[in-house]
Amino acid sequence: MTMNILSKSIVTKRFLLLSLILLVAFSAKSQVSGKGYGRYLKSEYQKAFECYKEALMESDTDVVANYGMSLLYSNNTFPQYNYFKAFRYIRKAKKDLSTYDDKGLINLNKIVPDIKAKVDQDYDAIEKKLFDFINSHSTIEYTDIFVNEFQDSKFRHDVVQMRNRGYFLKAKTADNVTEYNLFIERFPDASDLPEALKLRDYAAYRDLRTNLKLDKVYEYIRNYPLSEQREQVYNLYDSLDFENTLATGTEEGYSSFLMRHPKAKQSPKAIELYIKKKYAATQEKNTTKAYNMFLDQFFTAEQRESALNLRNKLFFEEIKELNNVEKYNKYISTISDGPLKQEAVNERDKKAFEDAKEAKSILALENFIYTCPGAVQIKQATILRDSLVFEQCKTMVSTERFYEYMRSYPTLTSKPKAIEILEQLAYKEAEAKNTKEAYEEFILNHPLAPQRKAAQERANKVK
C-alpha cells in the first residue's frame, strides 16, 4: 500500500512538471507573438513582422502569429504586403484555432481579445481583398494560383471564370489552332468556349487556304463538322475534287464525282463530260443495244439526236438483212420522218411487192396496193392484179357473175379484152334464150359488139 501511494505521488509530480513545462513554453511563445501583436497595434509593422517570424519558426501552428501575419500582409501600407500570403496565413490561423478548446481560447483571448470573432471577420475581409486584387489585375498567373490553392473559397467560381477568360484572351492573341485547342480541351465549361470554337474553326480554315490540298480539305471537314466556314470548305472540296477528276478524264471518274458531289456547282459540267465519255464509249461499241442503253439513260443529252440516227441506221441495216415486211413496218413506226424513214419505206414496198408477186394472187396484190399506196410498184402491181382478174374473167360462164366480179374491179371495165369476153357471154345467153327480146336487149347493152349484126338478123327471124 505504501508502494502504491508512492507510485501515485511520482506520477502526479511528473504530470505537474510536464504541465509546467508546457505552460512555460506556451507562455514564451505567447510572449513573442503577443509582443508582435502589440507592435502591430502601434503600426510598427516591421518589428511586428520580426516577432511573428520568430514565433512561427518556433511553431508554425501559433494562431496569434499566423493571424498577425495575415493582418500585416493584407495591409497595403506594409511594404511587403501580399494578399495571397495574407489569405494563406488567415486560413492557417482559422484552421488551427478550430482545434482549441475553451481553456485554450481563454489563453489566446488574453493576447488578442475575442480572437475567434476577429479571425472569422478578417478571414472574410482578406478573402474579399484577395478577390478584388485578382479581379483588378486578372492575370492568368494569379487566377491559376487561386483556383489551384483555394478550392473551398466562396469566390472560386468567379475566379475560375476570370482564369478561363484569361486563357481565352491568351489563345485569341496567339490566334492559332493549337492554342485554341489547348483552351477548348482544358476548359470545356468556359463561357468563352463557343467563341473559341468559332475562332479555332476560322483559324483552321485560314490555314487550309494557305495549304490547299484535297487531303487537307477532307481533314478539315472531318475535324470541324460544325464550322461556320463549312459551306466555303465544301465548295473548296468540290472544286479540288473536280480538278482531280478533270485530270483523270475518265467516265468512271466523272461518275464517282457526281456520286460524291450531287449538288456541286461543277456537277452540270461533270454531267456534260460524263455523257460525252459515255457517248464515245457507245460509238466505239456501235451496236443498237449500246445506243438503246444510251438513249434510255439520257433523255435530254445533246447527243440524243445523233445517237438516234446512228441507232436507226444500224437497226435499218439489221432489218435489211432480215428483209421482212413486218420488221420493216415495225421499224418505220418507230422513227421520225426523214431520209432514213423514206428509204425504209422504199425497201418495205419493194419487199412487199416481191412477196405479193410471188404469191400470184389477186388478194396479195390488192393487199399490197392498199397497204403501200405510195409505192413506185403500184402501177406494176395493178397491171399484175388486172391480168389475174382477166384470167378469172375468162372462166366466167354468165354475165351476171361477170358483172358481180367486175364491180369489185371497176378499172377493168374499160379493158377491150374484158369487154370482148363480156360480149361473148352476153351473146351466148341471148342465143340460149333465142327470143326477139333477148337479142334486142343484147343489141341495146352492147351496141358496138361484133355480134350485133348476127343478133339483129336473129331478132328479125324469131317471133
pLDDT the model gives residue 6: 43
- Give the cell for residue 437: 327480146
- Most confident stretch, 355-364, 382-391, 392-401: 355-364
Across the range 109-134, mean pLDDT stands at: 96
pLDDT the model gives residue 19: 40
pLDDT the model gives residue 386: 81
3-state secondary structure (DSSP) of residue 286:
coil
Query: What's the gap between Cα 140 and its chain centre?
Result: 44
> pLDDT tens, 13-63?
454 343 433 334 445 556 899 999 999 999 999 999 999 999 999 999 999
pLDDT the model gives residue 362: 87
2, pLDDT greater than 50: no
Tell me the pLDDT of the chain averaged across its residues: 88
> pLDDT tens, 310-360?
988 898 888 888 888 898 898 888 888 888 888 899 999 998 989 999 998
Nearest to 180 by CA among 218, 144, 223, 139: 223
Backbone phi and psi for residue 234, each to the nearest 5 degrees, phi listed first:
-65, -35
Distance CA 437, CA 430 (A): 9
Across the range 280-309, mean pLDDT stands at: 91
Nearest to 191 by CA among 218, 217, 168, 214: 168
- Give the cell for residue 306: 445523233
pLDDT the model gives residue 395: 76
b/e string for 33-61 if b means 16 or more Cβ within 10 A? Answer: bbbbbebbeeeebeebbebbebbbeeeee
> Please, which pLDDT band fits residue 463 given cuts at 50, 70 and 90?
low
Distance CA 308, CA 288 (A): 10
pLDDT the model gives residue 422: 83
Whose grid coordinates read 360480149?
A: 423
Across the range 95-105, mean pLDDT stands at: 94
CB 102 within 8 A of CB 92: no
Distance CA 6, CA 177 (A): 83
Distance CA 49, CA 89 (A): 13
pLDDT the model gives residue 383: 86
